[in-house]
């Protein structure tokens, strides 16, 4: 399973796997205890695939940070999220040397390490870019490349617009008859 189906729900501990959709929201299974909960639209939910970490140059997707941690730890668990603030910052600096220390807090580092360890415990270690993300990037590139073509296609479709104007010509005829009545 990829990070696209792993959720973080504010106010709830740990991570959740997306199970299915309901009328009022969706069902999610906790990675901590395996319990299924109903999540409504009023909960603040974040997909792990959409989260990024601030660096000095750009934002790095969380999956890339997880890949770097996995490479450093050889696929095993990282240090505990309960370590001291200094230990957490040193560890994170060794993984992501250019992270923005002003915008990434110790609590964020704790969360990232806790999530990583939880994913590894549950055997979710595929942090590679998903096919859907690749397809979206390809579609964006195609859309940018095809945009001028679509505009020309819209201009070619102008006979429809002309046929839409034909009834207005008939209305012009009624305008003449009203002008004739005024005389």
**Token pair 């957490």 in the structure block, residue:** 88
Determine the pLDDT at residue 136: 55
Q: Which residue has the higher pLDDT, 24 or 159?
A: 24
For the domain with range 3-47, which CATH number is right: 3.40.50, 2.30.30, 2.40.10, 1.10.1740? Answer: 2.30.30
Q: Whole-model pTM? A: 0.68
Domain range summary for the chain, segments of one domain joined by +: 3-47, 51-121
* DSSP-derived secondary structure letter, 79: S
Class of domain 51-121: mainly alpha
Determine the pLDDT at residue 118: 93
Evaluate if residue 64 carries a pLDDT over 90.
Answer: yes
The per-residue pLDDT for range 71-91, each reduced to its tens digit, is 999 889 899 999 999 999 999
Determine the pLDDT at residue 160: 46
Over range 99-106, report the average pLDDT.
Answer: 93
CA distance 168 to 20: 52
Mean pLDDT of the chain: 78
Q: Give how far the C-alpha of residue 150 lies from the chain's centroid of Cα atoms, to the nearest Å.
A: 27
């Amino acid at each position: 399973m990829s990070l696209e189906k792993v959720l973080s729900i504010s106010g709830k501990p740990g991570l959740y796997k997306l199970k299915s959709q309901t009328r009022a929201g969706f069902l999610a299974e906790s990675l901590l205890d395996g319990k299924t909960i109903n999540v409504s639209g009023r909960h603040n939910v974040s997909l792990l695939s959409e989260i990024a970490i601030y660096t000095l140059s750009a934002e790095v997707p969380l999956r890339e940070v997880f890949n770097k941690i996995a490479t450093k730890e050889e696929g095993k668990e990282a240090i505990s999220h309960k370590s001291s603030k200094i230990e957490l910052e040193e560890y994170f600096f060794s993984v992501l040397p250019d992270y923005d220390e002003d915008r990434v807090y110790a609590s964020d580092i704790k969360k990232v390490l806790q999530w990583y360890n939880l994913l590894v415990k549950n055997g979710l270690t595929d942090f590679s870019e998903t096919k859907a993300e690749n397809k979206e990037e390809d579609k964006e590139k195609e859309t940018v490349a095809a945009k001028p073509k679509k505009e020309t296609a819209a201009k070619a479709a102008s006979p429809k617009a002309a046929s839409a104007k034909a009834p207005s010509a008939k209305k012009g005829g009624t305008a003449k008859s009203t002008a004739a009545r005024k005389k």
